[in-house]
């Protein structure tokens, strides 16, 4: 069977929450993961900066490792970068967008929350999603960069600062009928258990990871020609990382063999 080579891209480790669903569904593909640590966090970066960085990095990796598909495993980037990427690549480009529609459907109280980065919560793309699929709901929006940093630290082996987390989520603590939250940043599924501790009233956490993996599988199944690249599953980043060895060990548990800094 032909294997596909798929790049997962994020500013940090959050994209792993999407990658892990794809890996479960299609364990045999070649997976490359790139985190733009020189640009992290994307939360408050301008749209122009995010578009430029994402295009440059994806093109660079594709030159050395011809790709069959790219997953932008980052909501903040996906809200702005999908059209320009699709203009420049002929391979499937899969984006990550907050699961507003299923959240609005599953909520009993019709009072839902969008937890995302500061950029994502104010993008026109998200306004459209809410207008289209959740007009019958009260939709709270909470944009946070701190939460992204907390999740990033957790994956890098540091402990989660529950007090800081609680503080960040405090605007929602007293909303008793908030029963459903869209995890609108790929970092947040990685700290879902901790978010649940801070917001015990929440019954449903909506994470688009599995739906994205299914979409990727559908698109890859339709490919007639594949890159036929035989590469190890590996990680790229955009500047040196502090505890490289420690991070490589952590990423080995996710199935990756080594980190390379893109030059």
Q: Which residues bind ligand DGL (CB under 6 A)?
A: 10-12, 14, 40-43, 74-76, 117, 120, 148, 185-187
Two tokens, residue 61: 């990796």
d(CA 138, CA 224) in angstroms, rounded, equals: 45
Which residue lies nearer to ligand DGL by CB, 18 or 226? 18
Helical packing angle, 75-88 and 47-64, nearest 10°: 60
Q: CB of residue 135 vs ligand DGL: minimum separation in angstroms?
A: 24
Which residues, other chains included, contact 167 with Cβ-Cβ below 8 Å and sequence gap of 6+? none
Q: Are 220 and 68 in contact (CB under 8 A)?
A: yes
Beta-carbon contacts of 144 under 8 Å, excluding residues fewer than 6 positions away, are 43, 115, 117, 118, 168
- Nearest-approach distance from CB 101 to ligand DGL, in angstroms: 18
Helix axes 16-25, 209-221, angle to 10 degrees: 50
By annotation, the residues acting in catalysis are 74, 185
Q: Which is nearer to ligand DGL, 3 or 97 (CB)?
A: 97
| Shortest spacing between CB 142 and ligand DGL, in angstroms | 13
| Closest distance of CB 45 from ligand DGL, Å | 8
Toward ligand DGL, which CB reaches closer, 4 or 120?
A: 120
Could you tell me the smallest distance in angstroms from the CB atom of residue 254 to ligand DGL? Answer: 15
Complex with ligand DGL: residue 54 or 75, whichever CB lies closer: 75
Alpha-carbon gap, residue 53 to 61, rounded angstroms:
12
Nearer to ligand DGL, 14 or 113 (CB): 14
Looking at the chain, which runs of residues are DSSP E strands? 5-10, 30-35, 69-72, 93-94, 111-116, 138-143, 180-183, 204-206, 234-237, 259-261
């Amino acid at each position: 069977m032909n294997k596909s080579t798929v790049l997962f891209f994020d500013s940090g480790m959050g994209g792993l929450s999407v990658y892990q669903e794809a890996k479960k569904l299609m364990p045999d593909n070649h997976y490359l993961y790139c985190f733009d640590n020189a640009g992290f966090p994307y939360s408050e970066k301008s749209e122009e900066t995010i578009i430029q960085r994402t295009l440059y990095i994806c093109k660079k990796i594709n030159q050395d490792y011809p790709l069959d598909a790219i997953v932008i495993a980052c909501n903040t980037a996906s809200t702005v970068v999908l059209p320009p990427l699709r203009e420049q690549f002929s391979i499937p480009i899969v984006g990550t967008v907050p699961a507003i529609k299923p959240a609005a459907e599953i909520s009993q109280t019709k009072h839902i929350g969008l937890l995302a980065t500061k950029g994502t919560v104010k993008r026109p793309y998200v306004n459209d999603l809410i207008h289209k699929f959740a007009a019958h709901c009260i939709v709270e929006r909470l944009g946070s960069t701190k939460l992204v940093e907390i999740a990033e630290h957790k994956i890098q082996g540091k402990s989660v600062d529950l007090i800081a987390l609680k503080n960040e989520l405090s605007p929602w603590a007293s909303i008793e009928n908030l029963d459903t939250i869209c995890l609108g940043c790929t970092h947040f599924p990685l700290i879902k258990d901790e978010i649940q501790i801070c917001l015990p009233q929440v019954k449903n956490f909506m994470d688009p990871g599995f739906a994205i993996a299914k979409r990727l599988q559908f698109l890859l199944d339709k490919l007639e020609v594949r890159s036929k690249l035989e590469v190890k599953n590996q990680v790229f980043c955009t500047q040196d990382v502090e505890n490289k060895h420690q991070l490589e060990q952590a990423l080995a548990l996710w199935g990756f063999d080594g980190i390379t800094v893109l030059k």
